[in-house]
Amino acid sequence: MSHVLLRHRDIPNINRLDVYKKNGGFAAWKKAVTKMQPNEVTGVVKDSGLRGRGGAGFPTGMKWSFIDNKNWPHYVVANADESEPGTFKDREIMEGNPFQFLEGLALGSYAVGANAAYVYLRGEFWELAAFLDEKIAEMEEAGYLGENLFGTEYSLKIYTHLGAGAYICGEETALLESLEGKRGQPRVRPPFPPSYGLYGKPTIINNVETFTNVPAILANGADWYKSMGTMDSAGVKVFSLSGRVRKPGNYELPFGTTFRQLIYEHAGGVQEGRPVKAIMPAGASSSLIVVDDKVLDTPMDYATVRTLGADLGSASVIVLDDTVDIDWVINKTIKFFKHESCGKCTPCREGNYWMKHLTSRIHSGNGSKDDVDLLLNVAKQMQGKCLCALGEFSTMAVVTGIERFPQDFKKAVKA
Amino acid sequence: MSLEKTHPKEVKQILSKYPLEHKRSAVMPLLYLAQREEGFITKSAMQDIAQMLEMTETEVASIVGFYTLYHDEKAGKYRMQVCTDLPCALRGADEFLNNLCGNLGIKVGETTPDGLVTLEAVMCLAACDKAPMFQTQGPDGIKYHELMTVDRTMELIDALKQAEEK
Ligand SMILES: Cc1cc2nc3c(=O)[nH]c(=O)nc-3n(C[C@H](O)[C@H](O)[C@H](O)COP(=O)(O)O)c2cc1C
Ligand code: SF4
Ligand code: FES
């Protein structure tokens, strides 16, 4: 089957404007601006069942319809912060198929009446930002961006903005603070960005992959999109597969593909033919899933993964084989979260400080059973008390690791 | 010297991205520009940027402190930042970094005696399928180096060294 998002794998040089155009590029954009009302664009996206690919799976069309039309101007922001350990899909999309992403961002901007859109990239994507700047300039030259597009009243500019190394800036309100030239710390919500966003103005924020779906949906129709995937989660998803598999990488597959198909059919199985011990389906923020045959045959969509006691998140699937100790895993994840906690609220800041102490003590063999109990207690105390989801994320692997893999911790404190 | 004098074109281009009344948004790109010169951001550069954007110096300094890609201290000309986060560590990143330390005769956080390379361990860089990997942060920006071996890394360092001597 040919790709919907990773089209550069089927069509060489699709990152060139002429090639993209020859393959149907910008047709949806032109049609939308010249023949459709903005709310019709939102309507098609709503009907398609597209859900946000940044982690939460929020229905995209519904989000767009929340834009406050009493307050102007409006802004649209593409979230290209991509910093969740295990996630590397947006980078491939932007490098390989940049125009489809930019066309999707433009369509989103038109749908909500924004004349300026920003792409917020993590600072490490320095070369990628320069590359996107070139692509944006080519679109301006070709008349796809700029003033009075296709002879209409509508104008749109797209700008890139580089972050500077802070995972929290992927959280949408922290991202907005950062874009405003402040420290990237989350805002208290409500109000939500569609009413109070960038510079206090109504703003729509979506993930890169979310936007990249939109041109295909407009071109082929909502029904076509819904014919892929599951009832719960329509369409295709780019799964970033990492860890102990033979062929790690991005795999674009319909929702409903099973873990087994992803790992064994597409990625060649586990290194050295070992068994899968655990899966983290949403990167370092995941709960740990204990893997057995039934789990491997579970279809991956938002609702079904939840029945395994985990979230699909941005579908950054990390595979752990039977040689991996879970106390080592959570020592790694907590090192990450301790480093990335923005420090704004006490439960997350202090909780991660203590979890870091305890996980490294346990992992280094100097811990006791009481340390494990205390660690579990600290993590559970944090849950439900943090200002943003980062605090919550930091507890997931710890709690599920200790509860679902008690033998690993027994071994760690005895040794 | 003010950035407006040394890099007038870049400054103008950066400021044009944001609404006039929100020029504070330009603080991050301007800090990158300032950092290009010496590999870290000097106090006078922070003053300059504060003045340009009508911010206080403390506000600018707090931004430098918040984001890990800004530095307020001199280090090696190139920062070699090896990802040792969970997915990379599952594919040998910790061993790679250890061996690299051995080869260079320095510890993580230290700089080679010639001042060329500072070795650092960093969090996920969105290249988890291409471990071991690192980025170099230097005068020419940030570059990714993926699926690396210690030998190839040593060759890269030699190439940097030779470019230096020219
Ligand atoms: C700590 C944290 C980090 C996040 N990082 C990202 C990210 O790197 N990219 C992203 O698209 N969304 C990220 N999100 C989710 C965003 O807050 C937001 O929900 C998303 O960009 C909305 O886009 P979507 O509806 O298209 O998914 C993060 C959330 C949290 C709490
Ligand atoms: S939960 Fe953590 S990251 Fe989120 S606001 Fe609080 S301290 Fe910052
Ligand atoms: S964990 Fe190293 S790049 Fe993602």
Give how far B100 is from chain A: nearest CA, Å: 20
CA angle A198, A203, A209 (to 5 degrees): 110
B38 pLDDT higher than 90: no
Mean pLDDT of B88-102: 97
- B94 burial level (CB within 10 Å; 0-12, 13-18, 19+): middle
Q: What contacts B108, CB < 8 A, 6 or more positions away?
A: B97, B101, B119, B120, B121
Is-above-0.95 flag for pTM? yes
Mean pLDDT of A333-342: 97
The phi, psi pair for A270, rounded to 5°, reads -90, 150
pLDDT band at residue A132 under the 50/70/90 scheme: very high
Give how far A126 is from chain B: nearest CA, Å: 6
A278 CA → ligand 2 middle, Å: 27
Instruction: State residue A1's pLDDT score.
Output: 66
- Cα separations (Å) of A190 from A164, A387, B17, B107? 27, 12, 28, 46
Is any Cβ of chain A less than 8 angstroms from the Cβ of B91? yes
Instruction: State residue A7's pLDDT score.
Output: 98
Instruction: State residue B164's pLDDT score.
Output: 84
**HSE-up (13 A, CA, CB side) for residue A108:** 38
Test the A interface: residue of B86, B94, B125, B136 with most A CBs within 10 Å: B86
Residue A390 near residue A341 (C-beta atoms within 8 A): yes
d(C-alpha B43, C-alpha B54), whole Å: 16
Rounded to two decimals, the ipTM of the complex is 0.96
pLDDT tens by residue, A135-173: 999 999 999 999 999 999 999 999 999 999 999 999 999
Query: A253 in helix, strand or coil?
Result: strand
Instruction: State residue A332's pLDDT score.
Output: 98
Mean pLDDT of A84-95: 98
Instruction: Map tokens 């950062």 to a residue.
Output: A178
Q: Is A207 in the pocket of ligand 1 (CB under 6 A)?
A: yes
A79 CA → ligand 1 middle, Å: 7
Task: Kindly list the residues from chain B whose CB atom is less than 8 angstroms away from the CB atom of residue A124.
Answer: 69, 125-126, 135, 142, 144
Is any Cβ of chain B less than 8 angstroms from the Cβ of A268? no
Instruction: State residue A415's pLDDT score.
Output: 60
Instruction: Map tokens 């005068």 to a residue.
Output: B139
